[in-house]
Chains A and B, each alone.
Chain A
Amino acid sequence: GAVVSQHPSWVICKSGTSVKIECRSLDFQATTMFWYRQFPKQSLMLMATSNEGSKATYEQGVEKDKFLINHASLTLSTLTVTSAHPEDSSFYICSARRRNQPQHFGDGTRLSIL
């Protein structure tokens, strides 16, 4: 159990495009979802934490208008990278957790902005 699905796994798009990434908990209801970003050979950096039905909490230095997070249900959170630029190219990973349980991670989305 505790499967997290992330879609798409890979996306290439032109500069200025907005890109949406979905994160779903397939077999449990996630009270909290997390979004991370990972640059090559770097550690995962937490971008934001979202609880179902409330606004996401962003980490320092993460632009909330750039990275829009929606957590509309207990099984779905989305991250939209608005007006993406080459510097937004990265590996984005989501995770989900139930109350008092460990986080379970998706397989990640590789975003490449041309």
Chain B
Amino acid sequence: KQEVTQIPAALSVPEGENLVLNCSFTDSAIYNLQWFRQDPGKGLTSLLLIQSSQREQTSGRLNASLDKSSGRSTLYIAASQPGDSATYLCAPESGGSNYKLTFGKGTLLTVNP
């Protein structure tokens, strides 16, 4: 059974800082891994998707890396802004016919102006 751990659970930084969110997962037999953003009381917004054959993906100020063999992924946010404040969720997707996402508890990010 896949288990996902995200560290830290919460993070508060001043605006402009670069930061790293960490994700580890126990079963490396994944199809891909996604990072999502969740605002309070809202659904999920997909930020980045890394296929299992890839090492990283970039979108704007976001960069996600994947080390499948060691069961780790990181999300790097450059030049953080108050609008980045949200909960960030990591979710590896299992392969095969099920294609299930397993979510971590998330990292609650607060960027202070």
Residues of A within 8 A of B (CB): 6, 32, 34, 41-46, 49, 91, 93, 95, 97, 102-108, 110
Interface SS majority for chain A: strand
Interface range on chain B (Cβ under 8 Å from partner): 20 to 34
What are the residues of chain B within 8 A of A95 when measuring CB–CB?
44
Which residues in window 42-98 of B have CB below 8 A to A?
42-46, 49, 89, 98
B42, B49, B99: the one contacting A107 at CB < 8 Å is B42
B36, B41, B49, B105: the one contacting A108 at CB < 8 Å is B41
Distance (whole angstroms) from the CB of A7 to the closest CB of chain B: 12
How far, in angstroms, from A106 to B105 measured CA to CA in the complex? 19
**A32-B99, A42-B105, A49-B98 given as contacts; is B46 within 8 A of A104 (CB)?**
yes
